[in-house]
């Protein structure tokens, strides 16, 4: 140390930043294709893929393009696929979700036969895509969402999805007791091996806006009476997670991701099952919109967002960029 400058530091974090090789060695959070799950939309009766305006690069698939996109994702090494259906018609009780010939169940069967066990097939287990009122549950006479009547419907839906080939069902409706009801129904129908990815801590978020275009949601109003209030403390999320685990959840999810990294961290510290985080449609749209204007470096921002979600403790990330990022990570 230079004696005339006693304040020169001996501890220098910059030593490990000097060269790309040093930085690579010092990396502690690494993205891997298998940690990424690709959400996919399939539209009943579509003959051409329909672009989702607020999600540039994302489409509502036809059965044929769904198969292609799924195969490409699997070839790129992504860890799994999460399927959402866009039905041609809707009704008050969301019967399309239970119908074995409903768009989502047909897509599950198609991909199961196409892909075998090469990937993890997951299905969104919720009524909002199938109801004409757009809520995630059945409505009571007064227009409120009827929790316990909805559970019966979710139970039927779980069995239909399992029968169609889902490895994992993803209840995203935030009804109390949904995981327990689904687990019991799956077990009762002999689907003991089908896992439940619980959307445990799902917030009533404005970041879902573009998704609602993607599924052509007919929702008026909001989901504040069942999804979590962003203004509650993280303790409420931990309570939701604990309930879901007690009811038999195999994996738990926090959603959205980027504005809820504190929740991701606390959940990851609290549980011993894999933790998922959903980088939702609005997070995707913001980055794409800013990048299209040349305001941010798109690829670097994508990597940075995914890295921060993993650094916060998520084991897996649902992201609409899954295939692209997986390819970038393992160039071939
Ligand atoms: C509900 C559901 C939603 C999303 C996934 N499942 C929307 C909502 O709760 O309103 C949002 C996903 C996204 O924004 O990317 N079935």
Which residues touch 250 (CB under 8 Å, ≥6 apart)?
168, 195, 196, 197, 273
Confidence (pLDDT) at 47: 96
Structural element, H or E, at residue 60? strand 59-61
- Whether residue 273 lies inside any domain: the answer is yes
Tens-digit pLDDT profile for residues 88-110: 999 999 999 999 999 999 999 99
- Whether residue 288 lies inside any domain: the answer is yes
Give the mean model confidence (pLDDT) for residues 206-231. 94
Task: Give the distance (Å) from ligand 1 centre to CA of residue 276.
Answer: 15
Tens-digit pLDDT profile for residues 159-210: 999 999 999 999 999 999 999 999 999 999 999 999 999 999 999 999 999 9
> Is residue 245 within 8 Å of 232, Cβ to Cβ?
no
Give the DSSP letter of residue 63.
H
Confidence (pLDDT) at 218: 84
Taking CA atoms, 114 is separated from 21, 108, 117, 273, in Å, by 41, 10, 9, 29
Confidence (pLDDT) at 7: 84
Nearest-CA residue for ligand 1 atom 1 is 172
- Whether residue 306 lies inside any domain: the answer is yes
124 lines ligand 1 (CB under 6 A): yes
Q: Report whether pLDDT(330) > 90.
A: no
- Whether residue 9 lies inside any domain: the answer is no
Nearest-CA residue for ligand 1 atom 12 is 280
Distance CA 41, CA 104 (A): 9
Active site (catalytic) residues = 202, 255
User: Which domain, by its residues, includes 74?
Assistant: 31-329
> Is residue 215 within 8 Å of 252, Cβ to Cβ?
no
Number of domains observed in the structure of the chain: 1
Nearest-CA residue for ligand 1 atom 7 is 208
Q: DSSP string of 2-58?
A: -TT-TTS-S--GGGGGSSHHHHHHH------GGGEEEEEEEETT-SS-EE-TTSTT-
Distance CA 190, CA 184 (A): 10
Residue indicated by tokens 């199961």: 112
- Whether residue 270 lies inside any domain: the answer is yes
Task: Give the distance (Å) from ligand 1 centre to CA of residue 198.
Answer: 13
283 lines ligand 1 (CB under 6 A): no
- Whether residue 320 lies inside any domain: the answer is yes
- Whether residue 17 lies inside any domain: the answer is no
CB atoms within 10 A of CB 219: 15
Nearest-CA residue for ligand 1 atom 8 is 208
Task: Give the distance (Å) from ligand 1 centre to CA of residue 13.
Answer: 41
State the pTM of this model. 0.96
- Whether residue 4 lies inside any domain: the answer is no
In ligand 1, the atom with minimum distance to the C-alpha of 281 is 15
Give the mean model confidence (pLDDT) for residues 50-70. 97
Backbone angles phi, psi at 214, to 5 degrees: -60, -35
CATH code of residue 144: 3.20.20.70
């Amino acid at each position: 140390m230079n004696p005339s400058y006693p304040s020169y530091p001996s501890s220098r974090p910059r030593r490990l930043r000097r060269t790309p090789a040093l930085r690579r060695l010092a990396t502690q959070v690494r993205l891997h294709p298998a940690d990424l799950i690709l959400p996919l939309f399939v539209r009943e009766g579509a003959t051409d893929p329909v672009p989702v305006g607020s999600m540039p690069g994302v489409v509502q698939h036809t059965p044929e393009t769904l198969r292609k996109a799924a195969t490409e994702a699997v070839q790129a090494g992504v860890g799994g696929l999460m399927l959402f259906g866009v039905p041609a018609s809707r009704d008050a009780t969301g019967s399309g979700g239970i119908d074995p010939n409903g768009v989502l169940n047909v897509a599950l069967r198609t991909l199961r036969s196409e892909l075998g066990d090469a990937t993890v097939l997951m299905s969104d287990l919720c009524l909002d895509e199938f109801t004409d009122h757009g809520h995630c549950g059945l409505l009571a006479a007064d227009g409120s969402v009827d929790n316990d009547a909805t559970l019966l419907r979710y139970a039927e839906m779980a069995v239909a999805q399992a029968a169609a080939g889902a490895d994992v069902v993803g209840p995203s409706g935030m009804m109390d007791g949904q995981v327990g009801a689904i687990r019991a129904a799956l077990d009762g129908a002999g689907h003991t091996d089908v896992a439940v990815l619980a959307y445990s801590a799902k917030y009533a978020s404005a970041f879902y806006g573009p998704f609602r275009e993607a599924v052509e949601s007919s929702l008026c109003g909001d989901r504040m009476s069942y999804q979590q209030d962003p203004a509650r403390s993280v303790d409420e999320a931990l309570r939701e997670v604990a309930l879901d685990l007690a009811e038999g959840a195999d994996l738990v999810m926090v959603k959205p991701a980027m504005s809820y990294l504190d929740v991701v961290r606390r959940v990851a510290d609290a549980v011993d099952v894999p933790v998922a985080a959903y980088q939702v449609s609005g997070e995707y749209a913001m980055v794409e919109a800013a990048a299209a204007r040349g305001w941010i470096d798109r690829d670097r921002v994508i990597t940075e967002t995914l890295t921060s979600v993993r650094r916060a403790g998520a084991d897996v990330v649902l992201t609409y960029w899954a295939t692209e990022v997986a390819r970038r990570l393992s160039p071939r």
